[in-house]
């Protein structure tokens, strides 16, 4: 099994950090359903943002199994070093540096995948962060800034020299966003160039696909992001397939309902009723995207209390006519 510093993972399937998605309730659920590691939502390195409610919620890891992995983002070596120290002081056992986010609001601040355009700055940030803390530091990147400037192999070499202990590679450039074909060839080249554990990321949406990507690229593990939204059981499916070569049956409607209801309750408990109800709406939409029910989702999004939401979900799964009606 792959290791990140002193931590040997129970399996090679990792829940990718995603802002607005991988909050504590979802991280805990993914771990329960098989993820070998979960990484928290990225937090800004800027100290002036640490006391906002959003940051405090993102830094809440109460009750989570170890190791606690926190992703930080920023474009200044000193600020990133200070951010790493702050997060370690607050319980982080692995620091993950974000140089893969393609979002404009991040890249416009010369952070995330925008950093890949400046290899000297990448080196300075990695060295400063590694030297600032006594916990393992990992790195998430893309294959480059654009198809004309793919430099993931050089970044991997810089990372290893700086003391980074593991590398996750999303197989697209920043310019590609989430379009175009994933460059598994580039991930394979990165793996061949470094002795670091490498986690492949990008369009890994099934157990069989995870196994194929690992075999093709030589990656030590996979990082699953969007495919787990609404189907957190994908982690146990991937682990089962990697261990046995057989596909695990998808959860039936009763189990989907049970998992969804548990998830909603944890959102209400974590965020409080007002915010929990609103955050629940997007998760319900993801859970039901493979189920018939566009009209149901529209009605659900108008509900404004936990009780109403829970009753609505129970009714949806209890009454087949609702699902048929919604599909019509």
Residues with a known catalytic role: 101
Q: Give how far the C-alpha of residue 164 lies from the chain's centroid of Cα atoms, to the nearest Å.
A: 19
Buried b (16+ CB within 10 A) or exposed e, 211-240: bebbeebebbbbbbbebbbbbbbbbbbbbb
Measured over the CA atoms of residue 18, residue 21, residue 26 and residue 28, the dihedral's sign is: positive
Burial class (CB in 10 A: 0-12, 13-18, 19+), 138: buried
**Cβ–Cβ < 8 Å for 14, 37:** yes
Shortest CA distance to 87 belongs to which of 106, 65, 67?
67
Name the 3-class secondary structure at 222. strand
**Cβ–Cβ < 8 Å for 222, 184:** no
Distance, CA of 100 to CA of 111 (rounded, Å): 9
Distance, CA of 181 to CA of 64 (rounded, Å): 35
Q: Considering just the CA atoms, what is the radius of gyration of the chain in Å?
A: 20
**Mapped to the 3 state alphabet, what secondary structure does 225-263 carry?**
CHHHCCCCCHHHHHHHHHHHCCCCCCCCHHHHHHHHHHH
Q: What is the largest CA-CA distance in the chain?
A: 61
């Amino acid at each position: 099994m792959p290791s990140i510093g002193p931590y040997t993972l129970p399996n090679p399937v990792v829940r990718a950090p995603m802002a607005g998605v991988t909050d504590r309730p979802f991280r805990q659920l993914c771990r329960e359903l098989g993820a070998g590691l979960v990484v928290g939502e990225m937090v800004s390195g800027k100290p002036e943002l640490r006391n906002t409610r959003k940051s405090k919620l993102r830094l809440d890891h109460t009750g989570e199994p170890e190791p606690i992995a926190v992703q930080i983002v920023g474009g200044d070596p000193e600020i990133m070093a200070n951010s790493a120290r702050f997060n370690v002081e607050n319980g982080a056992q692995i620091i993950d540096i974000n140089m893969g986010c393609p979002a404009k609001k991040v890249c416009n601040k010369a952070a995330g995948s925008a950093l890949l355009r400046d290899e000297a700055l990448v080196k300075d940030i990695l060295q400063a962060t590694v030297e600032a803390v006594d916990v393992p530091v990992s790195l998430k990147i893309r294959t480059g800034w654009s198809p004309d400037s793919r430099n993931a192999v050089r970044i991997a070499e810089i990372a290893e020299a700086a003391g980074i202990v593991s590398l996750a590679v999303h197989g697209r450039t920043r310019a590609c966003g989430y379009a175009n074909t994933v460059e598994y060839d580039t991930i394979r080249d990165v793996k061949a160039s470094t002795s670091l554990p490498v986690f492949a990321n990008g369009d890994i949406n099934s157990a069989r696909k995870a196994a194929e990507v690992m075999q093709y690229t030589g990656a030590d593990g996979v990082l699953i992001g969007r495919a787990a939204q609404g189907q957190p059981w994908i982690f146990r499916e991937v682990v089962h397939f990697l261990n046995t070569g057989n596909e695990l049956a998808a959860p039936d409607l009763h189990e989907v309902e049970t998992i969804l209801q548990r998830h909603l309750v944890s959102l209400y408990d974590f965020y409080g009723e007002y915010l929990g109800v609103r955050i629940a709406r997007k998760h319900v939409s993801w859970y039901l995207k493979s189920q018939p029910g566009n009209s149901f989702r529209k009605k659900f999004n108008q509900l404004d209390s936990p009780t109403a939401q829970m009753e609505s979900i129970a009714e949806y799964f209890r009454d087949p006519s609702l699902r048929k009606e919604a599909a019509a």
